[in-house]
Copies of this chain bind each other. A is one copy, B any other.
Amino acid sequence: MSEAPEGSADGPPPPMSKPRLETFSDGVFAIAITLLVLTIAQPSDFHRLAHQLASRWPSLAAYVVSFAVIGIMWLNHHTVFANLARVDRPFFFLNLALLATVAFLPYPTGVFGTALGRGEDTRVAAVFYSATMLVNAVCWAGLWVYASSGRRLLVAGFPEPRRSTVLFTAGVGVYAVALGIAFLNAYACLAFHAALAVYYALDPLARVRSAAPRLPSSPEPSD
């Protein structure tokens, strides 16, 4: 991975390597997504193994939803980075806060799955899971607003970022709705999170960019 050529051309190089930050972030995403499996409790009674495994289906459902969520976040993280010309220290700390919420996700996932499996305090677990996702959505919005306001870190070819900012900010509202649903019914809340994963799989940012004409001179992501 080489430094972006504009760094050495336009004067002092950027104080932070975008590819290395990307690799570090990728590592956290890959580890968090793989640690999710540890949230499914091992059976305790092997005489009734079939029953115990069957009763863990909510943990498996929570595993699948969180796996999809982190996978899609990785994809959107990739899309955001592909549209950045450079990164700086404030961006690093906003990204670190985002990673802290991603790396934390296995914990509420485990709580959610276990609570649903036991049928105890399921709404508390749903609220906890949704609140984590809400904080995560706030981090995404903060990251994007910082990177895009005044085109601070964007590549030259990126279109007017207002619409993508609206989409990122809407994510906060959407997860606030998820939090509201959590207070009503935990299963509906899990289904809502699954539906959101499908929606985000459609990638708002990619749709915005593909709508704009691509300038031939726009710097390419060097990943």
Footprint of B on A, CB under 8 Å?
A: 1-3, 8, 12-13, 15-17, 19-20, 22-24, 26-38, 40, 42-43, 46-50, 53, 63-64, 67-68, 71, 74-75, 78-79, 82, 89, 92-93, 96, 99-100, 103-104, 106-107, 110-111, 114-115, 118, 120-121, 124-125, 128, 201, 203, 206, 210, 214, 220-223
Q: How far is the CA of A43 from the CA of B113 in the complex (A)?
A: 12
Min CB distance, A211 to chain B, in Å?
Answer: 12
Q: How far is the CA of A6 from the CA of B166 in the complex (A)?
A: 33
A26's closest neighbor in chain B, by CB? B24
* Other-chain contact of A103, B36, B220, B223 (Cβ < 8 Å): B36
B38 and A31 within 8 A (CB): no
Offer 14 A-B interface pairs, CB within 8 angstroms, sorted by A.
Answer: A1-B1, A17-B78, A23-B23, A24-B29, A24-B30, A24-B74, A28-B30, A32-B34, A35-B37, A36-B103, A40-B107, A42-B110, A67-B103, A75-B92
Given A47-B120, A93-B201, A114-B46: A8 touches B103 (CB 8 Å cut-off): no
B128 and A53 within 8 A (CB): yes
Contacts of A75 in B (CB 8 A): 16, 89, 92
Q: How far is the CA of A185 from the CA of B136 in the complex (A)?
A: 32
Q: How far is the CA of A30 from the CA of B78 in the complex (A)?
A: 17
Q: How far is the CA of A55 from the CA of B29 in the complex (A)?
A: 28
B96 and A68 within 8 A (CB): yes
A12 and B100 within 8 A (CB): no
Contacts of A78 in B (CB 8 A): 16-17, 20
* Other-chain contact of A49, B35, B82, B115 (Cβ < 8 Å): B115
A46's closest neighbor in chain B, by CB? B120
Contacts of A8 in B (CB 8 A): 220
| Residue of A24, A34, A96, A221 most packed against chain B (CB within 10 A) | A34
B214 and A12 within 8 A (CB): yes
A30 and B33 within 8 A (CB): no
Contacts of A43 in B (CB 8 A): 111, 114
